């Protein structure tokens, strides 16, 4: 297809085609292969022509990340349709298991979205906090927080006393707590502020660190020795995580 022909098509169609080619290169060859020159070559156009649609490679990668997060969100949403809407524990378990399954099936996309440095290509700058944030359309984060909010609204968690929360983390945890409350409120979940104190936020952080660490080790094959089937290890970790917060038998 020539550049002239592309100009006659709706802009959104061409933008989508560019992102599809970028994602194909990502899946087949990795992030470093996703260059404007390579995409232009695949599409049969010149690299400068791509600047009519995306400001830079970083801009294009951010939009590809949005697409990836949207696909992950759709997959997790489909998983949740098989869970009773009142089963908050079952919902969180479904999201955790779905995240692992997706990561193992899409290692390059997982790497780009969840295992890349916090640079301008994978994050956006939040001027209000002075920090780099993951994409605004991070559907996984939205779904995970939605289920976490439902869990907090319906169950009392077993968490450490606030004085046990490391002093060095409290400023960061307090800032994240405000973000969580705002996100959960946007989801229409009524959650008293005391249900999300620093101890709960600290516990959520520890939960995510263990979940992400297990999945990343499995995706990248970084266990200290060969593990032929990591699923029992993952399921044991989930059982321990829910046992730690007093919900082992709540589902």
Instruction: Give the pLDDT band (50/70/90) at residue 7.
Output: low
Does residue 142 carry a pLDDT above 90?
no
Quick: pLDDT tens for 172-214. 999 999 988 888 888 888 888 788 999 999 999 999 999 999 9
> Has residue 137 got a pLDDT over 70?
no
pLDDT at residue 156 greater than cutoff 60: yes
How much of the chain exceeds pLDDT 70, in percent? 87
CATH topology for the 68-244 domain = Tetracycline Repressor; domain 2 (1.10.357)
d(CA 128, CA 5): 43
Q: Residue 9: pLDDT band by 50, 70, 90 thresholds?
A: low
Distances (CA, A) of 198 to 80, 88, 161, 202, 247: 28, 21, 9, 6, 19
- All residues at 6 or more sequence positions from 92 whose CB lies less than 8 Å from its CB, including other chains: 147, 148, 151
Return residue ranges of the chain for CATH 1.10.10: 1-54
Domain boundaries 1-54, CATH class: mainly alpha
Cα 93 to chain centroid distance, Å, stands at 16
The arithmetic mean of pLDDT across residues 65-93, rounded, is 94
What is the pLDDT, as a whole number, of residue 136?
A: 42
Q: What is the mean pLDDT of residues 57-77?
A: 94
Tell me what the mean pLDDT of segment 127-148 comes to. Answer: 64
pLDDT of 80-122, one tens digit each?
999 998 999 999 999 999 999 999 999 999 999 998 876 545 5
What average pLDDT does the structure give for the chain?
A: 87
Residue 78 has pLDDT above 60, yes or no: yes
Q: What are the backbone angles phi and psi of residue 9, rounded to the nearest 5°?
A: -85, 160
Confidence at residue 180, expressed as pLDDT on a 0 to 100 scale: 87
Query: Is 219:226 a contact under the CB 8 Å cutoff?
Result: no
Is the pLDDT reported for residue 129 higher than 70? no
**Within the chain, which residue ranges are assigned CATH 1.10.357.10?**
68-244
Q: Residue 6 — pLDDT band, cuts 50, 70, 90?
A: low
């Amino acid at each position: 297809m020539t550049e002239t022909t592309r100009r006659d098509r709706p802009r959104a169609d061409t933008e989508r085609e560019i992102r599809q080619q970028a994602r194909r290169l990502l899946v087949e060859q990795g992030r470093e292969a996703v260059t404007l020159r390579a995409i232009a070559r695949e599409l049969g156009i010149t690299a400068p022509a791509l600047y009519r649609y995306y400001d830079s490679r970083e801009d294009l990668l951010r939009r590809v990340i949005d697409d990836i997060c949207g696909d992950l969100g759709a997959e997790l949403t489909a998983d949740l349709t098989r869970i009773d809407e009142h089963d908050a524990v079952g919902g969180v378990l479904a999201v955790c298991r779905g995240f692992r399954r997706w990561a193992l099936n899409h290692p390059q996309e997982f790497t780009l979205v969840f295992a890349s440095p916090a640079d301008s290509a994978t994050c956006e700058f939040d001027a209000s906090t002075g920090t780099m944030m993951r994409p605004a359309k991070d559907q996984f984060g939205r779904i995970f927080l939605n289920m976490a909010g439902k869990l907090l609204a319906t169950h009392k968690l077993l968490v450490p006393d606030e004085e046990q929360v490391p002093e060095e983390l409290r400023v960061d945890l307090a800032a994240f707590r405000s973000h969580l409350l705002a996100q959960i409120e946007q989801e229409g979940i009524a959650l008293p502020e005391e249900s999300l104190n620093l101890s709960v936020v600290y516990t959520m952080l520890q939960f995510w660190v263990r979940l992400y660490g297990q999945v990343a080790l499995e995706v990248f094959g970084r266990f200290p020795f060969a593990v032929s089937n990591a699923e029992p290890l993952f399921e044991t970790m989930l059982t321990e995580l829910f046992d730690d917060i007093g919900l082992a038998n709540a589902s």
